[in-house]
Amino acid sequence: MIRERHPKSLIHFSFETPWPWPSELELLPIAWRSKLLDSLLAADVVSFPTDADINAFIACVRSFFSSQSDDHLPEIKYRSSTLIVGTHSIRLSVLAPLVRSPKFKEVVRFPQTQRFIYDLAVAEPIHTFVTVERSEPHKNIVRAINAYGELLKRRPDLTESTRFLLMLTPGPTHISAYKRVSEEIRRAARKVNDLAKNSNPVRVYEENNFYRAIAALSIYDTLVSVPVADGVGRSPLGGPIVNTKNGGMILSENDATKGLFGDSVSTVGITDIAGISFAMEAAADESLESRFTKSEAILDILRSIDPTSAARQFLSELNEVDHTH
């Protein structure tokens, strides 16, 4: 629509969510898909959270046009980060991650946050797994709890020396999928706690409480973020900034930040409950030296990210396209 009314405009479309693969996009009616893709293909730049999303987008464009019966279909090429559809070029990019170090550092010093840090502290040395997420179906929280349950079944000795804290921002529970996921999370937590007898190692806080969430990030030994799909990765980007325990991270291969941290984090498949469980076991048994080395590597990566880089990239991409116009 904008392109029709403003043919010479520069259009930058920035996605904060993952892009689906053709097998997922085709669940939408053909006319809807057509409108969505036409609209995006009218842009000059489209940015996505990860390279995988770019690949999925290109696959959707190819799949959509190849399914058309028109004899005059556009030629589609992709090279040097540019998708060429007929005579129109679209630059595809991965937008730099947004690190909110100053804000997190400020909030962790607030008295409210310090009070929650005190409340969450325990006298005995205990390994604390932490998940800080919105309570959404794609966050895969039930599998993370089930994985912890498998860990305690395999290693009962860890029942007293580990715990799993989940700080979950409630979703809109008038939508049935959110209500259901909230119930499933509580059921999974109850099941693990029932097995653990009196120790209740899983604690779910479903609330809008940014201070308690930041407090939990400051004390994790292992941050667990295993989303089915994710575009932003706020906890893995913000957690290490305020963490005081040289904590490590278990990330799913679909977490938006996984590629950023490389071997400094444990990577797991999204449905692999056993795999997540073994990664938790390895984290609980990891030596302090190894943890320190990895957490320093994670912090080095985060410190190297200029907080203004995403904004600079946005402007520079528009400027580059402006010059080619």
| Minimum CB distance to another protein, residue 54 (Å) | 15
| Minimum CB distance to another protein, residue 19 (Å) | 7
Q: Which of 81, 177, 292, 293 binds another protein (CB under 8 A)?
A: 177
Q: Which of 37, 117, 144, 229 binds another protein (CB under 8 A)?
A: 229
Cβ partners under 8 Å of residue 141, min gap 6: 131, 133, 135, 166, 168, 181, 185
Helix (H) or strand (E) holding 118: helix 111-120
Site size with another protein, rule: CB under 8 A: 46
SS3 of 219-253: HCCEEEECCCCCCCCHHHHHHHHHCCCCCEEEEEC
* Binding status of residue 32 toward another protein by CB under 8 A: yes
Distance CA 279, CA 148 (A): 10
Specify the stretch interacting with another protein by CB under 8 A; choose among 58-66, 156-164, 238-246, 316-324: 316-324
DSSP secondary structure string, 23-65? Answer: HHHTTS-HHHHHHHHHHHHTSSEEEESSHHHHHHHHHHHHHHH
| Minimum CB distance to another protein, residue 325 (Å) | 10
* Binding status of residue 318 toward another protein by CB under 8 A: yes
x/- map, 78-117, another protein, by CB under 8 A: --------------------x-x-----------------
The residue written with tokens 């939990």 in the block is 216
SS3 69: coil
The angle that helices 101-108 and 210-219 make with each other, rounded to 10 degrees, is 90
Q: Which of 58, 126, 228, 305 binds another protein (CB under 8 A)?
A: 228
Distance CA 44, CA 188 (A): 46
Residue 297 or 310: the one with the smaller Cβ distance to another protein is 310
Q: Which of 24, 157, 160, 194 binds another protein (CB under 8 A)?
A: 24
Residue 8 or 79: the one with the smaller Cβ distance to another protein is 8
* Binding status of residue 205 toward another protein by CB under 8 A: no
* Binding status of residue 30 toward another protein by CB under 8 A: no
Q: Which of 51, 167, 221, 311 binds another protein (CB under 8 A)?
A: 311
Distance CA 243, CA 219 (A): 6
Distance CA 108, CA 300 (A): 20
| Minimum CB distance to another protein, residue 289 (Å) | 36
Q: Which of 38, 157, 253, 322 binds another protein (CB under 8 A)?
A: 322
Side-chain-facing half-sphere of 264: CA atoms under 13 Å: 23
| Minimum CB distance to another protein, residue 288 (Å) | 35
CA distances to 135, 205, 223, 233, 294 from 283, in Å: 24, 23, 10, 20, 12
Residue 97 or 247: the one with the smaller Cβ distance to another protein is 97
Strands 82-85 and 12-14: unpaired
Q: Are 140 and 232 in contact (CB under 8 A)?
A: no
* Binding status of residue 35 toward another protein by CB under 8 A: yes
Q: Which of 230, 249, 261, 295 binds another protein (CB under 8 A)?
A: 230
Q: Which residues sit at the interface with another protein, rule CB under 8 A?
A: 1-2, 5-6, 8-12, 14, 16-20, 24-25, 27-29, 32, 35, 98, 100, 136-138, 175, 177, 227-232, 307-308, 310-312, 314-316, 318-319, 322
